């Protein structure tokens, strides 16, 4: 069902919806964690957290199935080929059923260990594969919706499911039920609601898409394409975990905690930028399959500028407040300095990587995810090598994610040779970065002056002034792309640059 809105308007709308959905998921996960900690107590909550890590891992360990289904459904929609979409969706569901049955069998055969912790977790562990698969199945069917560019429908049902699952889990715990299998079942009920809602909406939009026995080539494509996507997302996480182990041996166990906090502070901006970029695949598939192939280069340029306009001031604000954040979280002066240094290095590295993401999304749309997977793997290995010779935790952490950003840039350069998406760097981006550095210097100066005079309120005001100066300079120089101005104006946004 094609929208009457121009492509740029739909892209801005869908990106906003994806960002709102990501924020809602973060808020609900925080609510669940805090609520269960109070209701269950620290000991039982620790056992629950071991299961919750797997329950929520579908956003990372998804075998690349949602991304593969989204891309195939988008292509099938443009070609008016419901059979192709049906085969892809059915193949993904079949793979999930097989993985669930195998996992359930292995868990049921797992012998008792006598460990009190394992025995307390074991009842919930029996339901874990089915609960995990329900969550991933809802993402796969939701990916079919986003492939049709119905992001609002998917994120609405996902938020409803997460909300119901969170409420049900807290209600069960609130009634004094501490059996982990019942808590897992309550949380998984939300995934079932999301799955049913997305499936109903998919059948309403495209009734010809049906679940049927898939062909071998459809399953092979899912394994190949999805495997590349999984490698691209999993390799950095494995490198991050290995880095923590190496840091513990090189700098001591306390350094792992410092790095963990720095990583959590620094990843927020990149995570939200990733939500904005996630809408590019189905939109660019439409261009690649249609007559607007030349528009892909312009789309890449606009997307990079949009990500820069979002990430640059956000990163600057967190950078300027990193000292206060570190002092609030860590009370030892030396450790606080390490935390501030690590967070600053990670913020800059994630900023650079965020600018590369739009081009990698376009490469996925063009069926070229393997360079990204190779870059993620090689970047992780190169980044881990830094722990062997760099003298401090902040430098080693900065190098780990800088190597990742460099490897992603190399993957983008390799793909750009064949799909002609152009370079990340451009004159408008150079001007935006220059204004960012100017506003960062202005904010830093005010941070020093007002901080000494007014303390924390002065430092927060300085960071806000740096943020506002960047926005004002960008608007004054007309650096917001015309597509974004028109799209925001058409969608009813009340903003200064909507001419």
Per-residue pLDDT tens digits of the chain, which is 499 residues long = 444 444 556 777 888 888 888 889 888 887 888 888 888 886 777 777 767 766 666 566 778 889 999 998 998 898 888 888 888 888 888 888 888 888 777 766 666 655 555 556 667 677 778 888 888 899 999 999 999 989 999 999 999 999 999 999 999 988 888 888 888 899 999 999 999 999 999 999 999 888 777 778 888 888 888 889 888 888 988 898 888 888 888 888 778 778 887 887 787 777 877 777 888 888 888 777 655 556 788 888 888 888 888 888 888 888 877 777 777 777 777 777 888 888 889 999 999 999 999 999 999 988 899 999 999 999 999 999 988 888 888 899 999 999 999 999 999 999 988 888 878 888 888 999 998 888 888 877 887 777 777 777 877 888 888 888 888 888 888 888 776 776 666 555 433 433 3
Q: Which of 355, 450, 339, 447 is nearest to 393 (CA)?
A: 339
Q: Which residue has the tokens 């001591």?
A: 252
Residue 495, Cβ neighbours under 10 Å: how many? 12
Q: Which of 250, 309, 260 is nearest to 436 (CA)?
A: 309
Q: Which of 5, 142, 133 is nearest to 57 (CA)?
A: 133
Q: What is the pLDDT, as a whole number, of residue 57?
A: 60
Are 190 and 268 found together in one domain?
A: no
Domain assignment present for 221:
no
Are 71 and 208 found together in one domain?
A: yes
Cβ pair 349, 401 in contact under 8 A: yes
CA distance 210 to 76: 13
Domain assignment present for 140:
yes
Q: Is the dihedral of CA 118, 124, 129, 135 positive or negative?
A: negative
Could you give the dihedral angle defined by the CA atoms of residues 183, 48, 166 and 22, in that order, rounded to the nearest 10 degrees? -140
CA distance 245 to 335: 18
Those residues whose C-beta lies under 8 Å from the C-beta of residue 128, and which sit 6 or more positions away, are 51, 54, 55, 103, 107, 184
Tell me which of 420, 437, 463 is where a domain ends: 420
Are 410 and 484 found together in one domain?
A: no
CA distance 164 to 399: 41
Are 48 and 193 found together in one domain?
A: yes
How many angstroms from the chain centroid is the CA of residue 144? Answer: 18
Tell me which of 376, 401, 420 is where a domain ends: 420
Are 415 and 446 found together in one domain?
A: no
Domain assignment present for 220:
no
Tally of domains within the chain: 3
Cβ pair 100, 130 in contact under 8 A: yes
Maximum C-alpha span of the chain: 71
Q: Which of 462, 465, 469, 460 is nearest to 325 (CA)?
A: 460
Are 137 and 277 found together in one domain?
A: no
CA distance 176 to 40: 8
Q: Which residue has the tokens 């360990």?
A: 61
Are 121 and 185 found together in one domain?
A: yes
Q: Which of 74, 58, 72, 60 is nearest to 131 (CA)?
A: 58
Q: Which CB contacts under 8 angstroms, 24+ apart, belong to 177-184?
A: 178/40, 178/44, 179/123, 179/124, 180/47, 180/48, 180/51, 180/120, 180/121, 180/123, 180/124, 181/123, 181/124, 181/126, 181/127, 183/36, 183/48, 183/124, 184/51, 184/55, 184/124, 184/127, 184/128, 184/131
Cβ pair 463, 317 in contact under 8 A: yes
Domain assignment present for 4:
yes
Tell me which of 420, 440, 465 is where a domain ends: 420
> Is residue 209 left, alpha or beta, with left meaning phi > 0 and alpha meaning psi from -120 to 50?
beta
Residue 160, Cβ neighbours under 10 Å: how many? 15
Domain assignment present for 498:
no
Are 415 and 433 found together in one domain?
A: no
Domain assignment present for 109:
yes
Are 401 and 473 found together in one domain?
A: no
Are 33 and 153 found together in one domain?
A: yes
Classify residue 58 by its DSSP letter. Answer: G
Are 404 and 433 found together in one domain?
A: no
Are 149 and 171 found together in one domain?
A: yes
Could you give the dihedral angle defined by the CA atoms of residues 322, 325, 326 and 332, in that order, rounded to the nearest 10 degrees? 150
Those residues whose C-beta lies under 8 Å from the C-beta of residue 302, and which sit 6 or more positions away, are 8, 481, 483, 484
Helix (H, G, I), strand (E, B) or coil at 290: coil
Classify residue 211 by its DSSP letter. Answer: -
Domain assignment present for 222:
no
Q: Look up the domain containing 57 and give its range.
A: 1-214
Domain assignment present for 42:
yes
CA distance 184 to 48: 9
CA distance 46 to 165: 19
Q: What is the pLDDT, as a whole number, of residue 146?
A: 92
Residue 483, Cβ neighbours under 10 Å: how many? 21
CA distance 249 to 217: 46
Q: Which residue has the tokens 């997460």?
A: 162
Helix (H, G, I), strand (E, B) or coil at 431: helix
Q: What is the pLDDT, as a whole number, of residue 165?
A: 94
**CA distance readout (Å), 332 to 266, 295, 335, 337:** 20, 53, 5, 9
Cβ pair 247, 256 in contact under 8 A: yes
Q: Which residue has the tokens 């190098």?
A: 399
CA distance 77 to 285: 10
Q: Which residue has the tokens 């494509």?
A: 221
């Amino acid at each position: 069902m094609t929208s009457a809105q121009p492509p740029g308007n739909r892209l801005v709308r869908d990106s906003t919806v994806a960002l709102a959905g990501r924020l809602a998921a973060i808020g609900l996960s925080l609510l669940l964690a805090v609520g269960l900690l109070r209701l269950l107590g620290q000991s039982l909550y620790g056992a629950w957290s071991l299961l919750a890590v797997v329950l929520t891992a579908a956003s990372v360990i998804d075998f690349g199935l949602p991304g593969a289904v989204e891309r195939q459904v988008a292509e099938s929609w443009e070609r008016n080929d419901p059979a192709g979409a049906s085969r892809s969706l059915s193949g993904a569901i079949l793979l999930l059923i097989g993985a669930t049955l195998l996992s359930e069998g292995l868990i049921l055969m797992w012998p008792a260990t006598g460990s009190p912790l394992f025995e307390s977790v074991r009842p919930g562990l029996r339901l874990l594969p089915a609960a995990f698969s329900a969550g991933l199945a809802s993402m796969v069917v939701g990916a079919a919706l986003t492939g049709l560019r119905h992001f609002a429908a998917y994120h609405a049902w996902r938020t409803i499911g997460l909300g119901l699952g969170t409420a049900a889990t807290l209600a069960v715990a609130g009634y004094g039920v501490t059996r982990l299998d019942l808590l897992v079942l309550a949380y998984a009920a939300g995934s079932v609601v999301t799955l049913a809602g997305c499936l109903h909406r998919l059948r309403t939009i495209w009734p010809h898409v049906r679940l049927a026995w898939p062909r071998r080539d459809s399953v092979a494509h899912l394994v190949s394409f999805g495997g590349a996507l999984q490698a691209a997302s999993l390799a950095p996480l494995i490198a991050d975990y290995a880095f923590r182990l190496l840091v513990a041996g090189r700098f001591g166990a306390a350094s792992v905690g410092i790095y963990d906090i720095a990583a959590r502070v620094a990843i927020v901006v990149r995570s939200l930028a990733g939500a904005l970029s996630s809408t590019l695949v189905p939109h660019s598939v439409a261009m690649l399959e249609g007559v607007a192939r030349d528009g892909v280069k312009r789309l890449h340029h606009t997307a990079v500028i949009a990500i820069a306009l979002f990430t640059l001031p956000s990163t600057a604000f967190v950078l300027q407040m990193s000292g206060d954040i570190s002092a609030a979280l860590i009370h030892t002066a030396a450790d606080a300095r390490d935390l501030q240094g690590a967070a600053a290095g990670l913020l800059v590295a994630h900023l650079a990587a965020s600018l590369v993401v739009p081009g990698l999304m376009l490469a996925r749309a063009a069926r070229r995810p393997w360079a990204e997977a190779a870059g993620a793997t090689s970047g992780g290995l190169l980044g881990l090598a830094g722990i062997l010779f760099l003298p401090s935790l902040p430098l080693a952490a900065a190098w780990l994610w800088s190597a990742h950003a460099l490897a992603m840039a190399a993957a983008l350069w390799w793909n750009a040779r064949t799909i002609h998406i152009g370079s990340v760097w451009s004159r408008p981006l150079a001007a935006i970065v220059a204004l960012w550095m100017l506003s960062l210097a202005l904010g830093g100066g005010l941070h020093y002056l007002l901080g000494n005079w007014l303390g924390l309120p002065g430092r927060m005001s300085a960071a806000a002034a740096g943020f506002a100066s960047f926005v004002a300079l960008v608007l004054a120089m007309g650096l917001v792309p015309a597509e974004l101005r028109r799209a925001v104006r058409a969608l009813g946004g009340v903003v200064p640059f909507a001419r």
